[in-house]
A and B are shown apart, each in its own frame.
Chain A
Amino acid sequence: AQSVSQHNHHVILSEAASLELGCNYSYGGTVNLFWYVQYPGQHLQLLLKYFSGDPLVKGIKGFEAEFIKSKFSFNLRKPSVQWSDTAEYFCAVNVPGTYKYIFGTGTRLKVLA
């Protein structure tokens, strides 16, 4: 069965620090990959997605993620975080042709002003 691992459960950074959140999945075939974010008091929303093509994808609010197939990874990055990036971040995978999304346990990011 597919699974998603997010190794960092809690991350605390100061503003302007660089961010990298790890995501690894277990599935040998083709996958669609996603990062979702949940800001305090809000619903989960899509940050970025990868289906095919350029393995470096750019999302909203300056976030990007790189798909490394050989490492089964889809790490999320941002060069310089802001206080408003404080949120919980979820990595998810979907097998093309299916409806089910598999989510990781989430990473809670706190950015100190």
Chain B
Amino acid sequence: EAGVTQFPSHSVIEKGQTVTLRCDPISGHDNLYWYRRVMGKEIKFLLHFVKESKQDESGMPNNRFLAERTGGTYSTLKVQPAELEDSGVYFCASSRPGLPTGELFFGEGSRLTVL
């Protein structure tokens, strides 16, 4: 079974530019999550999809962040325009349908550096 894949693994952009991160969850996993880790801090929840529907986006920092999951498969997280404080590692995770009964399966993360 293929794991959660994220692309790109590392992105370096200038302040004001746009970046789009992509996550392909494990096949059949209805639940998809985005988390972010700013250097040295905790891994913070951004949002949660069930299939194509946003269930909880309470962790999204502001309206410069837009997440989509068209068709309920892969998801994208767009940052536009990027600011310095957006730098960090963006993790995607997925889990089986229904309430989590244990494991979130994580991707390796997309490291974003905003200069």
Contacts and interface: CB of A to CB of B under 8 A. Distances in A.
A98 B48 CA distance: 11
B8 interface: no
B81 interface: no
Contacts of B45: 100-102
Contacts of B48: 99-100
B55 A43 contact: no
Contacts of A99: 31, 33, 48, 55-56, 99-100
Interface string B88-115: 0001010000011011101111000000
Interface residues of A, number: 26
B93 to A, nearest CB: 8
Contacts of B42: 4, 102-106
A43 B4 CA distance: 9
Contacts of A104: 42
Contacts of B35: 103
B interface bracket (residues with beta carbon within 8 Å of A) = 20 to 34
A39 to B, nearest CB: 11
B3 interface: yes
A42 interface: yes
Nearest to A41: B108
Nearest to B91: A44
B38 to A, nearest CB: 10
A32 B101 CA distance: 9
A74 interface: no
B107 A43 contact: yes
A108 B91 CA distance: 18
